[in-house]
């Protein structure tokens, strides 16, 4: 099957052109159907391509020198949509010149530019940022929103649930992923009004390709018994970073402990395969590639400090979503929910 | 120095009378100035006391049979404030019959009962639940609110900062603990209006015994470079549970990894002192004892599944707060802020 090419913002991120091009090359070594539009400084991209002969006939370069800075305000970046590597990569998707865009640049700017260029799809009020996280089981969990929308109403949360489930069906192969709303307790009375209204709406909805199972608390996100965790962007960002921070905290403590005596050092050397397994399971590069769901086009955010393997994973995520036509899946589910029933009644609460 | 006695709700929690009494006895073995009012079923308490001769002259029993259930609604529990072990323990503090109450029972009920019986202290609109968490450094970090207040305005957050700093001064011995507001980014423009207004207020305040250092993201809570993390109860609860869950997730993965081969099993046995060190550092019992700050009296929540060592720590926290007179410290700081300046202007934003 032929796949639309993927526009890669070669200039975004902390690691620069080399890592972005190596990541694309790595993805292509796994699946040679990948084709790329590499957006950025032609000289530097060409130099990077020298070490990847497999990329020669698979990639075109779109030259530009301007780049969105990591700490730039989205409103400022928007003005340079036509000159920056990020803006041009997104624009390629808009023009149909590429099927998806991948960038490791400034998340807020990427969101703002994508929204403006690609527009939100019909039936969705706000796009959301979704990411995969490891679990104790052999499949990942999807969490959204992770920071695109600081405050969300019930209507947004219901739409996030539908988008997250469509994404999860692609990732897990399940017909009806288990969806839960992130809350501070599992009882019906817990949390904000928006959460309670969203829960009611999802509980009563029929015909959706998801299984709504109520609330989930933040300590259960990674246990493997939920496929999609739905939350507003503030709480989602807090939860995601708290999990990342705690995982790093524990592994740092473990390192210190292993260094604390000669005996422990020896034990560490012997059990190295075990700790390597742990390191591999937790390595963010293996779960790299957050997706902006709800746009008329696929945009994938690679972590700013991802290595080539991480970038390759982000590229693979973009390809997967193109192949499986995520956008149409979401549209079909929204139709099932009944778009008219989702009309906003002004108070953010969804009525049937 | 003589210390007011501590009322222990001997019936609350998952572990029952035995663990609560053993915990109190353990605390007393460390500091024999502790005296207790043990509230609960007299027969069972007496039986538990049999194995702790050091408790005999240090404790009085207040008999009652009724207990607040773990899943009981706070409003329902409130009606039984005069018959339940939790209600009677709090009431002993109100009457001056005890200096502090410790309970491992239902958190919502404990909060509701404490608020009704002890009332919020002057200058505080809402009490907050604060807990200690481990860091990479050799001191704990305090986070509040952890779930007592689902939604908070700027005024609440400023008050939480003052209360948390007063608590931190006792725990860390620092004159001016480093205080930060939990947010989804560190730039001034990030987060909700309440967060931004609270940051402005704290930045401009003079004379407070704290050092306000702006925002902190959830992945930096445990790094050891912040003493007090201030947040609304919803985000705080999400962050706390996400950290607990992720720590358990990583240690579970580590266990699996150690079991994955004979070599790893041998390595595990040899490096056991290292993993025991880690286990000790992360054991919630060693950080047990969350405090309701902002009441006219000291109420400490012990974790429902804490063991005797955990209960002893909760008792020690209560004793420490009595000794150091936390309530007066908070009152002094509120006076420094200028209570009139904290008057609510209706929109939740604090004006100077």
Condensed to tens digits (0 to 9), the pLDDT of residues B46-76 reads: 999 999 998 988 999 999 999 999 888 899 9
Structure tokens at A223: 């246990």
- What are phi and psi for residue B191, nearest 5 degrees? 85, -170
Give the model's confidence band at A258: pLDDT under 50 very low, under 70 low, under 90 confident, else very high. confident
Span A320-342, average pLDDT = 78
Nearest to B184 by CA among A101, A266, A297, A149: A149
Which CATH number do you get for residue B10? 3.40.718.10
Do B112 and B133 reside in the same domain of the chain? no
The answer to whether the CB of A296 falls within 8 A of the CB of A325 is no
- Tell me what pLDDT residue B94 has: 96
Between residues A179 and B286, the one the model is more confident about: A179
In tens, the pLDDT along B9-28 reads 999 888 889 999 999 999 99
Do A113 and A31 reside in the same domain of the chain? yes
The answer to whether the CB of A15 falls within 8 A of the CB of A303 is no
Smallest Cα distance from A250 to chain B, Å: 6
Coil, strand or helix: which one is B243? Answer: helix
Coil, strand or helix: which one is A300? Answer: strand
Smallest Cα distance from B312 to chain A, Å: 25
Q: Is A69 on the interface with B (CB under 8 A)?
A: no
Contacts of B249 (CB under 8 A, 6+ apart): A136, A222, A223, A243, A247
The answer to whether the CB of B39 falls within 8 A of the CB of B10 is yes
Q: Is B69 on the interface with A (CB under 8 A)?
A: no
The answer to whether the CB of B272 falls within 8 A of the CB of A267 is yes
- Tell me what pLDDT residue A1 has: 55
According to DSSP, the β-strands at B298-301 and A59-63 are unpaired
B165 is a domain residue: yes
Cβ-nearest to A263 among B240, B243, B270: B270
- What are phi and psi for residue B80, nearest 5 degrees? -110, 30
Smallest Cα distance from B250 to chain A, Å: 6
Q: Per-residue pLDDT for A113 more than 80?
A: yes
Q: Per-residue pLDDT for B258 more than 60?
A: yes
Between residues A344 and B85, the one the model is more confident about: B85
The mean-pLDDT minimum among A38-42, A50-54, A273-277, B142-146 falls in A273-277
Q: B237 and A222: CB-CB below 8 Å?
A: no
- Tell me what pLDDT residue A35 has: 93
CA A153/CA B23 separation, integer angstroms:
45
B183 is a domain residue: yes
Domains in chain B, number: 2
- Tell me what pLDDT residue B338 has: 64
Span A267-278, average pLDDT = 82
Question: Domain span at residue B83?
Answer: 6-118
Q: Is B136 on the interface with A (CB under 8 A)?
A: yes
Contacts of A116 (CB under 8 A, 6+ apart): A78, A81
Coil, strand or helix: which one is A252? Answer: helix
B95 is a domain residue: yes
- Tell me what pLDDT residue A350 has: 39
Structure tokens at A47: 């130099």
The answer to whether the CB of B236 falls within 8 A of the CB of B146 is yes
Residue ending a domain, among A118, A146, A162, is A118
| CA dihedral sign of residues A310, A316, A321, A324 | negative
Residue ending a domain, among B67, B99, B118, is B118
B319 is a domain residue: no
- What are phi and psi for residue A39, nearest 5 degrees? -105, 120
Q: Per-residue pLDDT for B344 more than 60?
A: no
Do A110 and A27 reside in the same domain of the chain? yes
CA A229/CA A131 separation, integer angstroms:
10
Q: Is A309 on the interface with B (CB under 8 A)?
A: no
Do B108 and B251 reside in the same domain of the chain? no
Interface of A with B in 163-182 (CB under 8 A): 182
Q: Is B222 on the interface with A (CB under 8 A)?
A: yes
A296 is a domain residue: no
Do B113 and B10 reside in the same domain of the chain? yes
B216 is a domain residue: yes
What single DSSP character describes residue A232? -
The answer to whether the CB of A114 falls within 8 A of the CB of A90 is yes
The answer to whether the CB of B125 falls within 8 A of the CB of B48 is no
The answer to whether the CB of B182 falls within 8 A of the CB of B215 is yes
Give the model's confidence band at A343: pLDDT under 50 very low, under 70 low, under 90 confident, else very high. very low
Span A332-340, average pLDDT = 71
In tens, the pLDDT along A81-109 reads 999 999 999 999 999 999 999 999 999 99
Q: Per-residue pLDDT for B348 more than 70?
A: no
Cβ-nearest to B257 among A147, A241, A278: A278
ipTM of the complex: 0.88
Coil, strand or helix: which one is B228? Answer: strand
CA A22/CA A15 separation, integer angstroms:
11
- What are phi and psi for residue B53, nearest 5 degrees? -60, -30
Do B31 and B76 reside in the same domain of the chain? yes
- B150 contacts in chain A (CB < 8 Å): 184, 191-192
């Amino acid at each position: 099957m032929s796949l639309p090419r993927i526009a890669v913002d070669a200039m975004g991120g902390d690691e620069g052109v080399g890592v972005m091009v190596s990541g694309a090359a790595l993805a292509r070594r796994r699946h040679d159907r990948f084709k790329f539009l590499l957006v950025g400084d032609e000289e530097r991209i060409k130099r990077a391509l020298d070490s990847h002969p497999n990329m020669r006939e698979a990639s075109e370069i779109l030259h530009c020198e301007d780049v969105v800075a990591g700490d730039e305000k989205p409103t400022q970046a928007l003005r340079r949509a036509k000159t920056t590597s990020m803006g041009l990569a997104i624009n390629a998707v808009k023009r149909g010149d590429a099927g998806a865009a991948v960038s490791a640049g400034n998340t807020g700017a990427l969101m703002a530019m994508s929204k403006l260029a690609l527009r939100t799809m019909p039936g969705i009020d706000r796009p959301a940022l979704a990411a995969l996280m490891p679990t104790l089981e052999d499949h990942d969990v999807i969490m959204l929103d992770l920071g695109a929308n600081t405050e969300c109403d019930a209507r947004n949360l219901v739409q996030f649930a539908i988008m997250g489930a469509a994404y999860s069906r692609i990732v897990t192969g399940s017909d009806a992923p288990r969806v839960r709303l992130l809350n501070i307790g599992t009882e019906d009375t817990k949390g904000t009004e928006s959460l309670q209204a969203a829960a009611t709406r999802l509980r009563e909805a029929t015909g959706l390709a998801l299984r709504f199972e109520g609330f989930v608390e933040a300590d259960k996100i990674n246990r493997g018994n939920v496929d999609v965790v739905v939350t507003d962007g503030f709480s989602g960002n807090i939860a995601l970073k708290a999990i990342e921070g705690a995982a790093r905290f524990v592994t740092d403590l473990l390192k210190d402990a292993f260094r604390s005596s000669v005996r422990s050092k020896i034990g560490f050397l012997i059990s190295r395969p075990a700790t390597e397994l742990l390191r591999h399971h937790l390595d963010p590069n293996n779960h790299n590639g957050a997706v902006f769901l709800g746009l008329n086009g696929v945009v994938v955010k690679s972590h700013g400090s991802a290595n080539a393997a991480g970038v390759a994973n982000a590229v693979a995520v973009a390809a997967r979503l193109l192949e499986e036509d995520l956008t149409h899946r979401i549209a079909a589910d929204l139709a099932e929910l009944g778009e008219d029933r989702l009309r906003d009644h002004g108070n953010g609460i969804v009525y049937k």
